[in-house]
């Protein structure tokens, strides 16, 4: 009986996906296996079909008016054949059998052997999966009037907070994504993925100077997640950030001690370390971490995980985009490199198991190894103790964007909120600070780890080779000795 209960959500998701993506087009799991058999008959190593239908809605408010409202539906199928490290890929927004078999015959030519051979059609097996979030359609969880009122509330709260707030912009997005994956080994997997996000940006003005502050969050919920307390917390953070920046002085430059705050500053970890631990870069030897498993790559106490199994998180998935169950993967443990994140192809070529990190932007893209929620575990120091330990340096509590060169591990990051610290005391806010360094080197320079690990509020989007996917980041307060800060002073 317990087994039935554990599998029920998996089967329910599969039924939803079949009802939306197969039945209306005269398709069935047995026909999908027939199409995959057509590909495998030409001696390829692997093949899969990825069906997807996505409904998304967006609203944005500016100057007290909802200026844009958008709604879109996109659906289609991606057909992939893999031979060695070569991939052939075709996609179509036509879900008919004729279109599917046509795509299958197109991609099977990738095999060097080319001649046909008989293949046994494997029996269908439902992939094990998790139940990390509700299978609801978040778009329908609030009506249009309530969505407009929610955005209006953001503006009212922000303007009431401080007379220096002169402009408020807010955006609300909701998405309902249903995917079905059929693999050549007979695996059938499905997921129903809700995703919501509320973003708040305010502009404050004082003595002719204007500064911006932003906040927001979300995850795999219905829109009721954005209750009064949550909206107030986003507004408080955005207004506070803008007002702090009004008093900011130019940031000093040079090599110095840098303390990073908890939560979203983990985006530095994501860029500087996470991308370098993706399987494709390591298989090709182009990552700064290639061939270093079992070696010390970070200071003692540094443990980094990529975990796609945290309930309701933006970066979490019940199954990845290749039908693999997501996992909690330890990448670095106490400073020692333990493993990489893998999709099916790179795992096979490296002789390891997939880690549930095969991800793609949509049916029109090929999967590759990507992060889910990447974070560093906490240590034993309080944030106050870490800041008090600084003789002189930068305390960065929030970040804008950043980028990394995978081969060298070099990164550049802009701090959107930071403070100058002397003799353990915060002196004043600074602006224009840019952190420059090498991911592998900065990991070794971590000297204090806070006990305040937290994940970001649910806003991360990661880009790689032109594909974007939702991700999460997190970390405790960290002290890094000797980072280069490019300033404006």
> pLDDT of 288-339, one tens digit each?
899 999 999 999 999 999 999 999 999 999 999 999 999 999 999 999 999 9
CB atoms within 10 A of CB 151: 23
CA dihedral 45, 51, 57, 58 (to 10 degrees): 10
6 pLDDT band, cuts 50/70/90, is very low
Beta bridge partners of residue 167, listed in sequence order: 203
339 vs 324: CA distance, rounded Å: 18
The stretch 369-376 carries a mean pLDDT of 98
Instruction: List, for residues 178-235, the tens digit of each pLDDT value.
Output: 999 999 999 999 999 999 999 999 999 999 999 999 999 999 999 999 999 999 999 9
**Read out DSSP for 407-466?**
TT-EEEEEEEEEEEEETTEEEEEEE--EEEEEHHHHHHTEEEEBS--EE--S--EEEETT
| pLDDT computed for residue 110 by the predictor | 79
pLDDT at 119 over 60: no
Model confidence band, residue 440 (pLDDT cutoffs 50, 70, 90):
confident
Strands of 37-164 (E only): list them.
46-62, 65-83, 86-92, 125-126
pLDDT of 129 higher than 90: no
Assess whether pLDDT exceeds 60 at residue 116. Answer: no
Percentage of residues in the chain with pLDDT exceeding 70?
96
Residue 395 clears pLDDT 50, i.e. is over it: yes
Per-residue confidence at 49, pLDDT binned at 50, 70, 90? very high
Question: DSSP label at 445?
Answer: T
Query: Half-sphere exposure of 140 toward its Cβ, with a 13 Å CA cutoff?
Result: 5
pLDDT band per the 50, 70, 90 thresholds, residue 53: very high
CB 278 within 8 A of CB 341: yes
- The pLDDT confidence band at residue 419, using thresholds 50, 70 and 90, is very high
229 vs 227: CA distance, rounded Å: 6
pLDDT band at 489 (very low <50, low <70, confident <90, very high): low
pLDDT surpasses 80 at 455: yes
- Report pLDDT for 418: 96
Give the DSSP letter of residue 25: G
- The answer to whether residue 439 scores a pLDDT higher than 50 is yes
User: Which residue carries 């003789």 as its tokens?
Assistant: 391
Q: Is the Cβ–Cβ distance between 249 and 489 less than 8 Å?
A: yes
**Taking Cα atoms as reference points, which of 141, 114, 149, 102 lies closest to residue 44?**
114
pLDDT tens digit sequence for 132-179? 999 999 999 999 999 999 999 999 999 999 999 999 999 999 999 999
Q: Give mean pLDDT, residues 11-24.
A: 96
Mean predicted lDDT score pLDDT of the chain: 93
- Using an 8 Å Cβ cutoff, are 441 and 467 in contact? no
Token pair listed for 106? 């197109």
pLDDT class of 2 with cuts at 50, 70, 90: very low
Q: What percent of the chain has pLDDT over 90?
A: 85
Mean pLDDT of 407-419: 90
User: For the residues 409-429, what does the mean pLDDT come to?
Assistant: 94
Q: Give CA–CA dist 200/196, Å, rounded.
A: 14
> Taking 50 as the threshold, does the pLDDT of residue 5 lie above it?
no
Question: What mean pLDDT is predicted for residues 429-454?
Answer: 94
Whether the per-residue pLDDT at 488 is higher than 80: the answer is no
User: In terms of pTM, does the model score above 0.75?
Assistant: yes
Q: Are 182 and 32 in contact (CB under 8 A)?
A: yes
Q: How many CB atoms lie within 10 A of CB 444?
A: 17
Residue with the larger pLDDT of the pair 119 and 471: 471
Phi-psi region of 216 (alpha: psi -120 to 50; beta: other; left: phi over 0): left
Q: pLDDT class for 67, splitting at 50, 70, 90?
A: confident
């Amino acid at each position: 009986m317990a087994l039935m209960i554990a599998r029920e959500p998996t089967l329910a998701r599969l039924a939803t996906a079949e009802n939306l993506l197969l039945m209306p087009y005269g398709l069935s799991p047995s026909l999908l296996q027939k199409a995959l058999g057509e590909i495998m008959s030409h001696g390829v190593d692997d093949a899969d079909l990825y069906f997807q239908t996505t409904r998304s809605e967006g609203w944005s408010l500016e100057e007290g008016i909802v200026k844009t409202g958008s709604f879109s539906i996109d659906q289609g199928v991606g057909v992939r054949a893999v031979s060695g490290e070569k991939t052939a890929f075709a996609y179509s927004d036509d879900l008919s059998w004729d279109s599917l078999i046509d795509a299958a015959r197109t991609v099977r030519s990738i095999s060097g052997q080319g001649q046909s051979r008989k293949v046994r059609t494997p029996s269908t097996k439902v992939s094990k999966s998790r139940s990390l979030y509700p299978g609801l359609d978040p778009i329908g969880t609030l009506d249009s009037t309530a969505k407009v009122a929610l955005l209006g509330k953001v503006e009212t709260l922000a303007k009431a907070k401080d007379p220096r707030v002169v402009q408020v912009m807010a955006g609300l997005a909701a998405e309902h994504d249903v995917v079905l994956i059929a693999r050549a080994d007979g695996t059938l997997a499905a997921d129903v993925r809700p995703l919501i996000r509320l973003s708040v940006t305010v502009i404050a003005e004082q003595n002719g100077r204007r500064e911006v502050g932003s906040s927001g969050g979300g995850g795999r919920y219905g829109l009721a997640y954005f209750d009064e307390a949550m909206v107030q917390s986003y507004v408080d953070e955005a207004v506070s950030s803008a007002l702090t920046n009004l008093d900011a002085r130019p940031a000093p430059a040079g090599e110095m001690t840098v303390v990073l705050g908890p939560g979203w500053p983990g985006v530095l970890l994501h860029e500087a370390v996470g991308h370098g631990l993706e399987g494709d870069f390591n298989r090709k030897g182009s990552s700064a971490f290639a061939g270093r498993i079992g070696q010390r790559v970070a200071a003692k106490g540094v443990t980094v995980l990529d975990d796609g199994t945290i309930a309701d998180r933006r970066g979490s998935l019940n199954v990845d985009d290749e039908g693999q169950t997501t996992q909690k993967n330890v990448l670095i443990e106490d400073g020692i490199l333990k493993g990489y994140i893998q999709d099916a192809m790179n795992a096979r070529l490296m002789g390891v198991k997939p880690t549930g990190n095969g991800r793609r932007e949509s049916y029109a893209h090929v999967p590759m190894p990507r992060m889910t929620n990447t974070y560093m575990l906490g240590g034993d120091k309080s944030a106050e103790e870490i800041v008090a330990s600084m003789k002189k340096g930068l305390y960065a509590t929030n970040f804008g964007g950043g980028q990394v060169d995978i081969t060298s591990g070099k990164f550049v990051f802009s701090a959107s909120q930071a403070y100058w610290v002397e003799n353990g005391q915060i002196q004043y806010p600074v602006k224009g600070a840019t952190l420059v360094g090498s991911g592998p080197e900065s990991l070794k320079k971590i000297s204090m780890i806070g006990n305040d690990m937290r994940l970001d509020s649910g806003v991360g989007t990661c880009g790689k080779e032109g594909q974007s996917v939702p991700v999460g980041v997190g970390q405790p307060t960290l002290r890094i000795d000797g980072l280069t800060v490019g300033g404006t002073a």
